[in-house]
């Protein structure tokens, strides 16, 4: 089968690999229908995760058809269309029992990281009973891909951890697919102002179409001053970091009012400065985390009721055979006007 393989810093190749087989009775093999490239994959490509073994097939987002089922898989059968969660979970360990699937003792984020992932014609999914979701007929295949990772990530780690409430004034730093997912799911809770901050004017324009009330280009504007002009001198109720670099963390800690929440969603590769000498007095709550995907069933229902304009997030489509080129397009997202790229396995 064709698969996108990681060989270390800035080295990937689309090549022939053996089709995966069932290893444990709880596994299934899925024939991938659609997958995508995540900002996290770009991070891997750029060397943010040197812990990943050379030879690993990347990818943790996608949908497919069940091809083969292990003997103890009770919830799914051959031929069913399924959403692959980016988080694998056993359903019975200490963390799974608390719905903290991200920290499953025999799972968590392993796909396209610790085990071979979904940027391939076939993928082995461990603990299939708990790690797959049936896709309602009313959900379009391309939209379903957005539920593997980015929508639950934006909702859980951005909006829920950030405790977005009706009337809140919130800021989202990073208008990538994850930041846009924060933007869309924040609107379930009716914040009064949503300020989107990014360097890419094209993404900021789309953010306006998806519901942002204000946008700020942090490359050309003093963000602190601009935010305070919009919401007043104290700052925002919630700041959500959806980039994963020191300067965007810094924006978040500078624009929050007393009692605010800072929800960090970005995956960071280096340490940041935390201005505790200014912030100790502010009664802030700071949250971090990896998506648990515990709200995926809820989001599947919201999406099937057509509550969000998700199609606008998909800017490019490529066949699996052009996956290497698709990486280059996503790496040059600003010039290519790319947001979410859908890869189809014909
Ligand atoms: N916590 C989790 O569970 C989880 C899950 C998935 C992804 N992530 C992380 O979320 C982050 C965003 O993912 P994505 O797919 O949207 O990535 P992306 O790379 O597509 O988007 C990042 C955005 O940040 C903007 N940006 C870059 N530098 C900036 C700066 N200095 N100021 C303002 N904006 C800047 C870019 O223009 C881009 O629009 C990544 O770090 C990713 O690894 C976290
Ligand atoms: Zn992802
Ligand atoms: Zn578990």
Domains of the chain (ranges, CATH numbers): 2-149+292-344 (3.90.180.10), 151-287 (3.40.50.720)
* Strand 193-198 versus strand 214-217 pairing type: parallel
Instruction: Find out whether 263 and 241 touch, Cβ atoms under 8 Å.
Output: yes
Please report where in the chains the tokens 């800035």 appear, as a residue.
Answer: 10
Helix, coil or strand: residue 57: strand
How many angstroms separate the alpha carbon of residue 111 from the centre of ligand 3? 15
How many angstroms separate the alpha carbon of residue 271 from the centre of ligand 3? 29
Q: Is 265 in the pocket of ligand 1 (CB under 6 A)?
A: yes
Residues in Cβ contact with 131 at an 8 Å cutoff, skipping those fewer than 6 apart: 84, 85, 87, 88, 89, 107, 125
Of ligand 1's listed atoms, the one at least distance from the Cα of 40 is 43
Average pLDDT value for residue range 7-24: 97
Looking at the predicted structure, is the pLDDT value of residue 69 above 80?
A: yes
| Residue 118 φ/ψ, nearest 5 degrees | -100, 0
The per-residue pLDDT for 306 is 78
Looking at the predicted structure, is the pLDDT value of residue 307 above 80?
A: no
Nearest to 243 by CA among 285, 180, 190, 188: 180
Q: Is 247 in the pocket of ligand 1 (CB under 6 A)?
A: yes
How many angstroms separate the alpha carbon of residue 207 from the centre of ligand 1? 14
How many angstroms separate the alpha carbon of residue 38 from the centre of ligand 2? 4
By most ligand atoms within 8 Å of CB, the mutation choice from 108, 145, 174, 247 for ligand 1 is 174
Looking at the predicted structure, is the pLDDT value of residue 123 above 90?
A: yes
Nearest to 109 by CA among 141, 149, 79: 149
Q: Is 152 in the pocket of ligand 1 (CB under 6 A)?
A: no
What's the chain's average pLDDT? 97
Looking at the predicted structure, is the pLDDT value of residue 213 above 80?
A: yes
* Strand 169-173 versus strand 236-241 pairing type: parallel
């Amino acid at each position: 089968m064709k698969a996108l393989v990681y060989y270390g810093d800035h080295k990937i190749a689309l090549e022939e690999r053996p089709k995966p087989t069932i290893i444990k009775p709880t596994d299934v093999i899925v024939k991938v229908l659609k997958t995508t490239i995540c900002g996290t994959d770009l991070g891997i490509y750029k060397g943010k995760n040197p812990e990943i073994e050379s030879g690993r097939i990347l990818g943790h987002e996608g949908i497919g058809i069940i091809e083969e089922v292990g003997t103890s898989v009770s919830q799914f059968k051959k031929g069913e269309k399924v959403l692959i969660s980016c988080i694998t979970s056993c359903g019975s360990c200490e963390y799974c029992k608390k719905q903290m699937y991200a920290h499953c003792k025999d799972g968590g984020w392993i796909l396209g990281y610790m085990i071979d992932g979904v940027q391939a014609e076939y993928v082995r999914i461990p603990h299939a009973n708990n790690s797959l979701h049936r896709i309602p007929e009313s959900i379009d295949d391309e939209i379903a891909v957005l539920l593997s990772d980015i929508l639950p990530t934006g909702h859980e780690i951005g909006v829920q951890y950030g405790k977005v409430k009706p009337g809140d004034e919130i800021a989202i730093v990073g208008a990538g697919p994850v930041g846009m997912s924060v933007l869309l799911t924040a609107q379930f809770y009716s914040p009064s102002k949503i300020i989107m901050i990014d360097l890419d004017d094209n993404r900021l324009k789309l953010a306006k179409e998806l519901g942002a009330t204000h946008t700020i280009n942090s490359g050309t504007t003093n963000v602190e001053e601009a935010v305070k002009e919009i919401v007043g001198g104290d700052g925002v109720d919630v700041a959500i970091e959806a980039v994963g670099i020191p300067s965007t963390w810094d924006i978040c800690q500078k624009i929050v009012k007393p009692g605010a929440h800072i929800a960090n969603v970005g995956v960071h590769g280096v340490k940041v400065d935390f201005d505790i000498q200014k912030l100790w007095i502010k009664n802030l709550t700071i949250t971090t985390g990896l998506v648990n995907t515990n709200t995926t069933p809820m989001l599947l229902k919201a999406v099937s009721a057509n509550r969000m304009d998700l199609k606008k997030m998909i800017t490019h489509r490529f066949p699996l055979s052009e996956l290497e080129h698709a990486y280059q397009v996503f790496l040059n997202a600003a010039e290519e006007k790319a947001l979410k790229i859908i890869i189809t396995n014909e």
